[in-house]
Amino acid sequence: MRRLAAALALTLSQSVLAVEAGGPVPDVSGPRIDAPSQSLALSSLRGQVVYVDFWASWCAPCRVSFPLLDALYRENGSRGFVVVGVNKDMSLEDAQKFLKKVPVTFPLVGDAKDAAAKAFDVKTMPSGYLVDRKGVVRKVHRGFTAETGAAIREEVDALLKEPS
């Protein structure tokens, strides 16, 4: 009976750790892919609408999501929107090969040790978290399709229209 109770408690505590809509965005940071000696912390983006996108070189849907996310970033950056791509590759070289084929202009950070992925409880690639100006996760997207892209565009526009 104790084992069952312990297993149930562990399962419940792990599900509580998952980042879901309505919860605060974890304050994680990572080394920038373009400048590994520099770090980017999500807390430094408070006051902006942020889309945190977990991706990897081996993720086929990421090849589709990246151009859309980059277009959103370029179109809405002046309105206070930023995309942060969090790379889960173990090798920086793998990420750089991917970026040669699918270049983007938004900030990218590495997460080779999975600290950020664990803080967000990422289970699917790609996984995206849309965060409002106050640091609250408003939408969670697991996976990516054309419909996901259209939804993200509408959600970003709605959050950018909200008062600061």
Averaged pLDDT, groups of 10, the chain, 164 residues long: 40 53 91 94 96 97 97 97 96 95 97 93 95 97 93 97 88
CATH T-level assignment (fold) for domain 20-161:
Glutaredoxin (3.40.30)
Contact assessment for residue 56 and residue 88, using Cβ atoms and an 8 Å cutoff = yes
In this prediction the pTM is 0.88
Contact assessment for residue 107 and residue 32, using Cβ atoms and an 8 Å cutoff = yes
Contact assessment for residue 110 and residue 55, using Cβ atoms and an 8 Å cutoff = no
d(CA 154, CA 84): 18
d(CA 74, CA 12): 40
For residue 55, give the H/E element and its range: strand 49-55
pLDDT tens-digit profile of 85-117?
999 999 999 999 999 999 999 999 999 889 999
Residue 15 confidence (pLDDT): 40
Residue 147 confidence (pLDDT): 93
Residue 9 confidence (pLDDT): 39
Tokens 């509580």 correspond to what residue? 16
Residue 14 confidence (pLDDT): 40
Q: Could you tell me which residues are beta bridge partners of residue 117?
A: none
d(CA 51, CA 5): 37
